[in-house]
Structure 1
Amino acid sequence: MTRSSATLDRAVAIGSESRSRAWGLTALLVLLYVVNYADKAVLGIIAQPLAHELGLSASQIGLVGSLFFLTFTVGGFFAGALNRWMSLRWALLLLAIAWSVAILPLVVVASFAVLLVSRLLLGLAEGPSSALLHTGAYSWHAPAKRGLPSALLAGAASIAKIAVAPALAFVTVTFGWRYALVALAAIGVLWCVVWLTVWSEGPYIRSGKGADSAVAGDAGEPAVPWGRIFRTRTFISGALLVMSVYALVAVVLTWLPSYFEVGLGYSRLQAGSMFAFPSIAGLILMLLSSVIGDRLLARGSTSRVVRVVVPAVGVLICGAILLALPSITAPAVAVLVVSVGYGFAASVFPLLNAAISEICPPRQTAGTLGVFLAVMAIGGLVAPYATGLIVDAAASPAEGYATAFQALGLVAAVCAVGALLFANPERDKKLVRGDAAVIGTN
Structure 2
Amino acid sequence: MTSGNLAPDRPHVAAASAQAAPLVNAKRAWGMTGLVVFLYVVNYADKAVLGIIAQPLARELGLTSAQIGMVGSLFFLTFVVGGFLAGPMAKYMSLRWALVVLAVAWSLVMLPLVIAASLTMLLVSRMLLGFFEGPSSALMHTAVYSWHPPAKRGLPGALLAGSASVAKIALAPVLAFVTVEFGWRAAILSLSGLGALWLMCWLLGWVEGPFTAKAAKAAPADEAVEGQVPKHAEPNVPLRRIFLSRTFLSCTFLLMSVYALTTVVLTWLPSYFEVGLGYSALQAGSLFAVPSVVGLALMIVSGAVTDRMIQRGATSRVVRIIVPCAGVIFCGGVLASLPVIGTPALVVGLLSLGYGFAAIVFPLVNAAISELCPPQQTAHTMGVFLALVAVGGLIAPYATGVIVDNAATKADGYALAFQSIGIISAIAAVAVLLLANPDRDRARIRAAA
Calculate the TM-score normalised by the size of structure 2: 0.88
Is 2:391 aligned against 1:378?
Answer: yes
Distance 2:72 2:295 in 1: 22
Q: How far does residue 319 in structure 1 lie from its aligned partner after superposition?
A: 1.1
Asked if 2 retains the 8 angstrom alpha-carbon contact of 1:103 and 1:118, the reply is yes
Measured in 2, the distance between the counterparts of 1:281 and 1:324 equals 19
> CA RMSD of the aligned region, Å?
2.2
Q: 2:218 matched to 1:212? A: yes
Q: Distance in 1 between matches of 2:276 and 2:57?
A: 17
Corresponding residue for residue 126 of structure 1: 133
- Report how far residue 171 of structure 1 moved: 2.4
Q: Distance in 1 between matches of 2:275 and 2:190?
A: 26
1:183 to 184, 187, 190: 190
Alpha-carbon distance in structure 2 between the residues aligned to 1:192 and 1:346: 29
Rounded Cα–Cα distance in structure 1 between residues aligned with 2:383 and 2:133: 11
Q: Please say which of residues 270-279 and 402-411 is displaced more in the overlay.
A: 270-279
% of aligned pairs identical?
63
State the secondary structure of the residue aligned to 1:204. Answer: coil
Instruction: For residue 55 of structure 1, report the CA deviation from its aligned partner.
Output: 4.2
- Provide the rounded CA distance (Å) in 1 between the counterparts of 2:217 and 2:89: 13
The Cα of 1:408 is off from its aligned counterpart by 1.4
1:173 aligns with 2:180: yes
CA displacement at 1:298 relative to structure 2 = 1.1
Distance in 2 between the 1:287 and 1:199 partners?
Answer: 23
Which residue pairs with 1:41 in the alignment? 48
- Residues of 1 paired with 2:117 and 2:406: CA distance? 27
- Give the equivalent residue in structure 1 for 2:7: none
* 1:315–1:412 Cα contact (<8 Å) kept: yes
> Does structure 1 residue 309 correspond to structure 2 residue 322?
yes
1:253 equivalent in alignment to 2:266: yes
Give the 3-state SS of the residue equivalent to 1:200 in structure 2: coil
- Deviation, 1:334, is 3.0
Change (3 A) 1:165 1:106: same
TM-superposed CA distance for 1:170, in Å, is 2.4
Tell me what 2:5 maps to: none
Equivalence for 1:286: 299
CA drift of 1:45 comes to: 2.4
> Corresponding residue for 2:437?
424
Cα gap change, 1:91/1:412 in structure 2, threshold over 3 Å: closer, same or farther?
same
The answer to whether residue 369 in structure 2 is matched with residue 362 in structure 1 is no
Say which SS state the counterpart of residue 23 (structure 2) adopts.
Answer: coil
Instruction: Work out the CA distance in 2 between the residues paired with 1:213 and 1:91.
Output: 22
Q: Deviations over 1:317-355 (max 9, x none)?
A: 111111222334443333223322211110000000100
Q: SS state of the match for residue 201, structure 2?
A: helix
Cα distance between partner residues in 1 of 2:345 and 2:177: 22
Residue pairs, 1:111-122, within 5 angstroms: 111-122=118-129
Structure-2 change in CA distance of 1:402 and 1:281 (3 Å): same
Shift of 1:396: 4.1
Q: What is the TM-score with the length of structure 1 in the denominator?
A: 0.90
- Please state if 1:198 is matched with 2:205: yes
**Structure-to-structure mapping, 1:5-404, within 5 angstroms:** 15-207=22-214, 212=218, 217-219=228-230, 220=232, 221-404=234-417
Higher mean displacement: 423-432 or 266-275: 266-275
Contact 1:281–1:343 (CA<8 Å) still a contact in 2? Answer: yes
Give the distance between the partners of 1:59 and 1:416, measured in 2 at CA.
33
Offset, 1:374: 0.7
In structure 1, C-alpha distance between the alignment counterparts of 2:448 and 2:410, rounded to whole Å = 53
Q: 1: CA distance between counterparts of 2:214 and 2:130? A: 24
| CA distances 1:252-305 after superposition (whole Å, capped 9, x unpaired) | 222333433444454555444332211111111111111111111111111101
Q: CA 1:105 to 1:341, structure 2 compared with 1: closer, same or farther past 3 Å?
A: farther
Q: 1:51–1:57: 8 Å Cα contact kept in structure 2?
A: yes
What's the counterpart of residue 9 of structure 1? none
Moved more, 259-268 or 141-150: 259-268
Q: Which one is further off, 331-340 or 409-418?
A: 331-340
Deviation of the 1:183 alpha carbon: 1.4
Superposed CA offset, 1:13-41 (max 9, x none): 77413211110010110111111111112
Offset of residue 168 of structure 1: 1.9
Aligned-partner SS, 1:155: helix
Write the distance in 2 (CA, Å) between the matches of 1:264 and 1:109.
39
Q: Residues 390 and 172 from structure 1, CA distance in 2 versus in 1: closer, same or farther, beyond 3 angstroms?
A: farther
Report the count of equivalent residues: 423
Q: How many angstroms does 1:418 deviate by?
A: 0.8
Structure 1 residues 22 and 312, CA gap change in structure 2 (3 angstroms): same
Q: Give the Cα–Cα distance (whole angstroms) in 1 for the partners of residues 406 and 57 of structure 2.
A: 21
Q: What SS does structure 1 have at the residue aligned with 2:298?
A: helix
In 1, distance between residues paired with 2:217 and 2:196? 26
Rounded Cα–Cα distance in structure 2 between residues aligned with 1:298 and 1:342: 28
Q: Look up the equivalent residue of 1:259 and give its one-letter code.
A: Y
Q: Structure 2: any 5+ residue segments left out of the alignment?
A: 1-19
Alpha-carbon distance in structure 1 between the residues aligned to 2:37 and 2:306: 20
Q: Which residue of 2 aligns with 1:4?
A: none
Q: CA deviation at 1:192?
A: 0.6
Give CA-to-partner distance per residue, 1:21-71, whole Å, 9 cap, x none: 110010110111111111112222233443444444444333322221111
Q: Which residue of 1 aligns with 2:17?
A: none
